[in-house]
Amino acid sequence: MSELERLTERLTAALPPDAVLTDPVRLRTYECDGLTHHRATPGVVVLPETAEQVAAVVRLCGEHGVPFVARGSGTGLSGGALPRTDGVLIVTSRMRRILEIDIPNRRAVVEPGVTNLAITEAVRDRGYYYAPDPSSQQVCSIGGNVAENSGGAHCLKYGFTVNHVLSAEIVTPDGEIVELSAQDPGYDLLGAFIGSEGTLGIATKITVRLSRAPEVVTTLLAAFTGIEAGGRAVSAIIAAGVVPAAIEMMDALAIEAAEAAVHCRYPAGAGAVLVVELDGPHAEVEHQFAAVERICRDNGAFEIRVAASAEERAAIWKGRKSAFAAVGRISPAYIVQDGVVPRTALPRVLAGIDLLQEEYGIRVANVFHAGDGNLHPLVLFDDSVPGEAERAEAVSGRILDLCVEHGGSITGEHGVGVDKARYMPRMFTEDDLDTMQLVRCAFDPRGLANPGKVFPTPRLCGEVPGVRRGAHPLVEAGLAEQF
Amino acid sequence: MAARDVGDALEAAGVAVRAAGDGDEVAGVRPRWVALPESAEEIAAVMRVCAAHDLAAVATGGGTKLHWGAPPDRCDVLVDLCCMNRPPEHAAGDLVVRAQAGVTVEALARALAEGGQELALDVPVPGTTVGGLLATGIAGPRRFRHGTARDLLIGVTVVLADGTIAKSGGKVVKNVAGYDLGKLFTGSYGTLGIIADATFRLHPLPAARAWVTATVERPVTETYGTWTNEDGLTFETLTTDLAGSLATMVPAVTESPLEPSAVEMDWPDAEGPCTVAVLVEGAAAAERAKALCALIGGALSDAQVTEEPPPWWGRLPEPPAPDGPPGPLGAGTGAGDGDGGEILLEVRNVPSRLAGSFVGPLTAAREAGVHAAVRGSLASHVFHVALPPDTEPRRVAAFTGGLRAHMETDGDGRVVVLAAPQEAARRLDRWGHVGALPLMRRVKERFDPDRRLSPGRFLGGI
């Protein structure tokens, strides 16, 4: 009997009857997250309903030395929830109760499986909402948002998950239940935990901040002949001291795809469109709107549309929000990339991407959160053409190099996961990564929580820094992969 | 090991060093040397010397809060970052700035204002450096709108106890690559490593600012008891109404679509007036302030709009005068020890406990026989409480205990003693109970296994 089989017997004894899945067909439905080209059938799947059950599973994993991976809705785009064939996948989808809504204190307490949008829907009538809005918000879970420190189109003004979570009950990799609170004195372990991609434990209860719905929201669509003019408008808006709730840009290829998919009817002939959303007190938005409209015209916008109603706003956003899926209409396959550059480097980086397209003969559609320099290049390829997938992969990697060269980041919101662990050394030195590893060792000295994610070759806890010789023990033990 | 060896080793590493003097004490503990590094590499050199000779180090910036926290278990080298003050690298087009740890927040603000931008934090202690701001995590009125240092910090370079130089984050606002060490180091009181430089996200300077202020002449609560006002009304009746009206007025302001940036209160003396002030920023600030004025005027009299903040805005409370009636513990004067004997507490709670936060410090002060000045954020529900510097140690302990009893009953309240003379602090728990303390200890053990960085300064003896 293997270690996993022995563990499975104990999991079955410890959990409710239908909470342990071992049927290969059912296991296979969990073989990947939103990053579908990484697949691994989990050794066993558990569906706990309480924090105590999560803690019991984690403790048993520890006793058997078996790695575990947490998964929310499985919408992540970096393979952060990629299971391990020799491990346990802990799925939080049965923990989806909203436990408390506390309007006077602007907060809600939820279980990790609650979807992002469900929080907003629960408080919208009372004039509140949950601010982080990843584009998967209808299905993605708050637990996953905490793991990834998710952003969204509106994080330019309102920040990320970490700015909107007040406390979290977590199960540590030791199987202890601990409350991490922003209110407590001491180290900001909550801040370190959020965005740690499941490597420091599993959130089992999350208290989020609710935000007051703004008095006025104004959305504007501006069409430019090219992406350079759109980029100049973005810079001028920021220079004018305006902080919009969102500034999104799409290039001609992305517009073409969106048009084909959802008929968003963006202005004909546009080489780039800019979606600018302003929100806040009426008097302030009115003032800022006038400035933004003038700046767009001064920078060559040939058509400006203003949403006069919620329906018109939805129509403007429709094209942007559909863009990722829409490129499926114009290309058999594509890679969604996620990189960040300082806003002022956008023109240079976009020019660099143009050169890469020529060099590799690969098309790239550009969709990005222009306000914060977060690029989502969609690298298009035909997987039936030999070698094209590899060329697309190369372009995708070189785009990240461009981001790092210009002082940016290899990921703005999708996370490192399994997909980008090998790129971490391009952004961080060995000392930087070893220092992050100290946090990992404090929480998870045995490296059982989501191993193989985020860090390329984690140093063993207790291992003395220096030149590594021979095979890494974690690699030998099958707990890590060396890039 | 001879003192000269260490001094020589530091000098050999190229770091300016001098013998410590009277003014270099850390919460009453005098170091032997003061090192004056000018770069992260020089801090690393200092830490390597400390590691080689098993010396304990404490970092300091402006020295304005060096007496906060517990005294270090040992302190051999004071690492004074005052020389790390190169002009900040302000990338205005990217709305970010990178600054060395020794740059004061005032110098930073001046540099940023030239580009029409600001770091949207109101640091309440003048002379605070970027490093000190982060190490203590201190914030001011606009925490309600912009959060605190942890929310605006996007990248950091730190030096660990073994001299390792590590960075996390970067110079872009949106970045989820790797663990966020900046958050871990913010508010860590120098116990994990020394912050060498930091990168922050910025905001454009608001087009306009306006304040609404209103004064409550006698905000004494019923628990104080026996007073009668000019109209013959007892304070019981009057103050219940007042606490109630504030508890209604504050949410009406904070939840208003007019979006104030801060709502603050200054109550320097329990028997004197209390001032409430609301900040409005951005386009049409004056117009929005007028609308808020009407809102406040319903609850408090003489609300008015001003272009300048009240003089106390964004500062810690001044300690009240120590005279007044003796409390139930009997008369007597205590003695502070060093650092002017500052006694400063921080109280946090949730907005719905507002009325309790009015009553709590007052009741605890009366029970302990001390005078307390209260100032802070009605919107974020974070207050600072100052006691006179010469308050008797047992009264400080009694006050802290009483305050905790009032504030920590419902699970959301927290009372932290930021500064207190050691004689008083010995009788109390500075930090209160924190459930995640064992996990915090494990983090400390990984970062500083030999306890060479500010040992004993932080909660749980970390």
As a whole number of angstroms, the distance between CA A216 and CA A279 comes to: 5
Domains and CATH numbers, chain B: 1-205 (3.30.465.10), 209-306 (3.30.70), 339-441 (3.30.70.2730)
Q: Does domain A3-91 have CATH number 3.30.43.10?
A: yes
Could you tell me the residue ranges of all domains in chain A? 3-91, 98-212, 214-326, 331-444
For the segment B175-207, what is each residue's pLDDT rounded down to a tens digit?
A: 999 999 999 999 999 999 999 999 999 999 999
Residues in A 251-280 with any Cβ partner in B closer than 8 A: 280
Please count the other Cβ atoms lying within 10 Å of the Cβ belonging to residue B90: 19
Residues in A 282-311 with any Cβ partner in B closer than 8 A: 282-284, 286-288
pLDDT averaged over 10-residue windows placed end to end, chain B, 462 residues: 76 92 93 97 97 96 94 97 97 96 98 97 96 97 96 98 97 96 98 98 96 80 47 40 72 93 91 89 92 83 91 95 53 42 94 78 85 94 94 95 85 93 93 96 98 97 96
Pairing of strands A333-336, A374-381: antiparallel
| ipTM value greater than 0.90 | yes
- Identify the architecture of domain A214-326 in CATH: 2-Layer Sandwich (3.30)
Question: Across the A/B interface, how many CB contacts are shorter than 8 Å?
Answer: 242
B358 touches chain A (CB under 8 A): no
Q: Does domain A98-212 have CATH number 3.40.190.10?
A: no
A428 touches chain B (CB under 8 A): yes
As a whole number of angstroms, the distance between CA A302 and CA A31 comes to: 47
B187 touches chain A (CB under 8 A): yes
Please count the other Cβ atoms lying within 10 Å of the Cβ belonging to residue A263: 11
Tokens of B80: 């004074």
Domain A331-444 adopts which CATH fold?
Alpha-Beta Plaits (3.30.70)
Q: Is the pTM of this model over 0.90?
A: yes
Which of A284, A431, A441 minimises the CB distance to B164? A431
A432 touches chain B (CB under 8 A): yes
For the segment B311-351, what is each residue's pLDDT rounded down to a tens digit?
A: 999 999 999 987 654 444 433 333 333 456 899 999 999 98
As a whole number of angstroms, the distance between CA A415 and CA A420 comes to: 8
Best A129, A155, A187 residue to mutate vs chain B (most B CBs within 10 Å): A187
Instruction: Confirm if B445 and B416 have CB atoms less than 8 A apart.
Output: no
As a whole number of angstroms, the distance between CA B388 and CA A418 comes to: 57
How much is the pLDDT for B333? 37
C-alpha pair distances (Å), A183 with each of A207, A444, B80, B443? 12, 24, 30, 19
The single-letter DSSP state of residue A125 is G
Distance from CA of A258 to the nearest CA of B (A): 25
A53 touches chain B (CB under 8 A): no
Q: What is the pLDDT along chain A (483 residues), one digit of tens a residue?
A: 899 999 999 999 999 999 999 999 999 999 999 998 899 999 999 999 999 999 999 999 999 999 999 999 999 999 999 999 999 999 999 999 999 999 999 999 999 999 999 999 999 999 999 999 998 999 999 999 999 999 998 999 999 999 999 999 999 999 999 999 999 999 999 999 999 999 999 999 999 999 999 999 999 999 999 999 999 999 999 999 999 999 999 999 999 999 999 999 999 999 999 999 999 999 999 999 999 999 999 999 999 999 988 899 999 999 998 888 889 899 999 999 999 999 999 999 999 999 999 999 999 999 999 999 999 999 999 999 999 999 999 999 999 999 999 999 999 999 999 999 999 999 999 999 999 999 999 999 999 999 999 999 766 787 655 444 445 555 555 555 444
Report the first-to-last Cα separation within chain A, whole angstroms.
32
Asked whether the beta carbons of residue A196 and residue B259 sit closer than 8 angstroms, the reply is no
